[in-house]
């Protein structure tokens, strides 16, 4: 084994004392926080049995606190960092930058307003004409008989009587400047067929067919005539 002189031993002991003195002073200054301190292995020199043995001793170093600008341990400088916290991880030497806030949730789209559909104005009710008493031999008796054959009763004949009274007065030869002719005022009169100029049966039969096909009933034709002036 190698031997060391007294001067060498004294130098080694002085180095050991200096290495231990610095972390011991730091640990004494903050003894209350030693439970949470980090542990860093540091190589120190130990003199055992006149031999110089290199070993490893654990020296507790104080964590970096925001109230220290700088700690100097020997020739090592530890710079001030951000404060420790559970939700803010810290990297030594890099300041903590919080993430940007989450964008606000988009506002819900406004509900469309229901469309208001205007109801059509009700059609004015037309008063039904009073029942008609037709004397025998009157041309209107033919019209009443032919209307009854279609299932139209006294109420429908009352509408028919009022309608043709306005159009022609039930006259077989009635005409106007537009060319309409006969009891139903057919335009032209010749469309009523053979006998159209003088036969009331021909004229009434054609007129009832026209009313049934266009308005359904004599009262339907009468209501249209009341609102427009024609049928």
The predicted structure's pLDDT at residue 156: 96
- Give dist(CA 2, CA 47) in Å, integer: 13
Which pLDDT tens digit goes with each residue over 143-158? 999 999 999 999 999 9
Averaged pLDDT of the chain? 73
Q: Residue 115 corresponds to which tokens in the numbers above?
A: 């469309």
Average pLDDT over residues 36-45: 43
Q: Residue 34, SS3? A: helix
Nearest to 13 by CA among 57, 44, 42: 44
Q: How many percent of the chain have pLDDT more than 70?
A: 57
Q: Residue 150 corresponds to which tokens in the numbers above?
A: 């279609």
- Give dist(CA 227, CA 126) in Å, integer: 9
- Give dist(CA 140, CA 157) in Å, integer: 10
- Give dist(CA 204, CA 83) in Å, integer: 110
- Give dist(CA 36, CA 122) in Å, integer: 90
The predicted structure's pLDDT at residue 124: 59
Q: Is the pLDDT of residue 32 over 70?
A: no
pTM for the whole thing?
0.47
The predicted structure's pLDDT at residue 26: 45
Residue with more model confidence, 231 or 110: 231
- Give dist(CA 144, CA 200) in Å, integer: 12
Q: Is the pLDDT of residue 142 over 60?
A: yes
Do the beta carbons of residue 152 and residue 218 sit within 8 Å? yes
Backbone phi, then psi, for 39, in 5-degree steps? -115, 130
Residue with more model confidence, 42 or 22: 22
Residue with more model confidence, 27 or 228: 228
Strands 51-61 vs 38-48: parallel, antiparallel or unpaired: antiparallel
Give the Cβ contact number of residue 37 at 10 Å.
Answer: 14
- Give dist(CA 13, CA 29) in Å, integer: 25
Residue with more model confidence, 46 or 130: 130
- Each domain of the chain, given as residue ranges in start order, spans 6-63, 139-228
Give the Cβ contact number of residue 116 at 10 Å.
Answer: 6
Which pLDDT tens digit goes with each residue over 46-102? 444 444 444 444 444 444 454 444 444 444 444 444 444 445 455 556 778 888 888
The predicted structure's pLDDT at residue 171: 97
Which pLDDT tens digit goes with each residue over 166-207? 999 999 999 999 999 999 999 999 999 999 999 999 999 999
């Amino acid at each position: 084994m190698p031997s060391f002189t007294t001067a060498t031993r004294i130098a080694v002991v002085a180095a050991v004392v200096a290495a231990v003195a610095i972390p011991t002073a730091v640990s004494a200054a903050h003894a209350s926080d030693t439970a949470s301190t980090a542990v860093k292995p540091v190589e120190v020199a130990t003199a055992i049995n006149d031999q110089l043995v290199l070993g490893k001793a654990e020296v507790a170093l104080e964590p970096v606190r925001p109230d220290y600008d700088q700690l100097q341990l020997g020739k090592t400088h530890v710079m001030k960092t951000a404060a420790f916290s559970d939700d803010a991880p810290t990297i030594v030497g890099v300041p903590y930058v919080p993430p940007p806030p989450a964008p606000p949730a988009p506002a819900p789209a406004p509900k469309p307003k229901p469309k208001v559909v205007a109801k059509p104005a009700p059609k004015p009710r037309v008063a039904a004409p009073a029942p008609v008493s037709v004397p025998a031999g009157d041309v209107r008796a033919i019209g009443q008989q032919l209307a009854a054959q279609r299932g139209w009763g006294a109420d429908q004949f009352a509408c028919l009587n009022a309608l043709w009274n306005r159009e022609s007065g039930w006259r077989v030869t009635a005409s106007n400047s537009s060319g309409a002719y006969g009891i139903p005022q057919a335009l032209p009169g010749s469309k009523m067929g053979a006998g159209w100029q003088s036969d009331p049966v021909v004229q009434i039969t054609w007129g009832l067919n026209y009313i049934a096909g266009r308005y359904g009933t004599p009262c339907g034709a009468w209501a249209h005539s009341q609102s427009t002036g024609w049928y």
